[in-house]
Amino acid sequence: MAKKKHITISGIIVEKSYTAIGYIFKSLFKLFTPRKLSGERETSDLTLMLFSGVKGGKMMKAVLLSVYTTWEKVPQVTIVTDGTPKEYFEGIMAFWPFPYKIKTWKEEAEVFRAKGATNLVEFAEGNVYARKMIGVLAEAENGPTVYCDTDVLWFGEPRLPARTPREGFAFRMSTDNTHCYHMPTIRYFGRQDLLEKPPFNAGVLYMSGSLVDHYPELEDQMAFFKLFAEDTFPEQIAFAFFADKLGDRWTLDEIILTIEDLRWPLIPRYFFSGNHFARHHVLTKKSWFWRDALYILLFKKNNARRRTVVSGAV
């Protein structure tokens, strides 16, 4: 069992202070954000999928601006909702000059209901994290898809795996700084070996092709997963199962995921290192997320990092 966090008055003051700093960055970000982006950009066939509700929607503009600013080509954007009305996201996307799609997770689930993957659908009916998973799987059926959480900001284009016509499937995950896995699942399937390997994180994903057609264990595993409607991280261990068998990973040198800079530094080295193409703000959504969003908006406009989109496995 995790230790209870010791709450002190000084700790509360410090926390509020950094939240206030984040609010300043957020206000400046809103001040400098254009009302409408220019549509004079080349687009790609790659899909960028976002899964969100109201809370994530508040950060969505920053995520998309980081993609628009730092990727060589603008991807096709698909938003999969957790049940939040589509009209909410249409208001957010008023600044976006390119075509986009808004789908509910239930629409995505019909793809798998038609294929007979009933356990997968029932898992999504009971667990909000599984709705994200079903969205990724559905979009990947249609073509190459990058997924990112709404607390991920981009400094450049991701390095994507090659998919050969013979294999017809490719998958890549980001790396975590700790094993945030659903332990009942680890024990039930006897996958303690995953605890000896670098931890996977489901904050940034790439998938192309049909997982249902390439992963025969899916429905049997989902029959167990669907029992944990209220639990967190079951979708992360599910993705880890997929990646361990069929995929690979981005490293922490490519996608930053850290909790070591909660208080310092004010200006991080990774702004200037050129080594990373994204940061996942797991614990800094109210502070450094908005600092990074402001930096990308103001200083990365004409300096988009050019990366090779297709490369071999890690």
Ordered by start, the domain boundaries in the chain are 12-17+22-309
Q: What is the mean pLDDT of residues 153-167?
A: 81
Per-residue pLDDT tens over the stretch 207-230: 999 999 999 999 999 999 999 877
Q: How many CB atoms lie within 10 A of CB 20?
A: 11
Name which of 305, 303, 293 is nearest 159 in CA terms: 305
Q: Is the confidence at residue 117, as pLDDT, over 60?
A: yes
Distance of CA 172 to the CA centre of its chain: 12
Per-residue pLDDT tens over the stretch 243-274: 999 999 999 999 999 888 877 788 888 888 77
Q: Is the confidence at residue 305, as pLDDT, over 60?
A: no
Indicate the pLDDT class of residue 11, thresholds 50, 70 and 90. Answer: low
Indicate the pLDDT class of residue 3, thresholds 50, 70 and 90. Answer: very low
Helix, coil or strand: residue 17: helix
Helix, coil or strand: residue 80: strand
- Token reading at 243: 């990646």
Indicate the pLDDT class of residue 16, thresholds 50, 70 and 90. Answer: confident
Residue with tokens 């669907």: 226
Helices (H), the chain: 9-32, 54-70, 86-92, 105-114, 118-126, 128-142, 183-188, 211-214, 218-225, 234-246, 270-273, 288-299
* Cα–Cα distance for residue pair 31/35, rounded to 1 Å: 10
In order of 86, 99, 122, 160, 188, the CA distances from 81 in angstroms are: 7, 17, 17, 25, 31
Q: What is the mean pLDDT of residues 35-44?
A: 95
Q: Which CATH architecture has domain 12-17+22-309?
A: Alpha-Beta Complex (3.90)
Helix, coil or strand: residue 298: helix
Q: What is the mean pLDDT of residues 223-243?
A: 88
Residue with tokens 């016509």: 165
- Peptide bond between residue 265 and the one before it cis (omega within 30 degrees of 0): yes
Name which of 85, 80, 94, 86 is nearest 35 in CA terms: 94
* Cα–Cα distance for residue pair 263/200, rounded to 1 Å: 25
- What is the SS3 assignment for 94-159? HHCCCCEEEEEHHHHHHHHHHCCCHHHHHHHHHCHHHHHHHHHHHHHHHCCEEEECCCEEECECCC
- Report pLDDT for 300: 79
**Percent of the chain residues past pLDDT 70, beyond the cut:** 90
- Token reading at 174: 């980001």
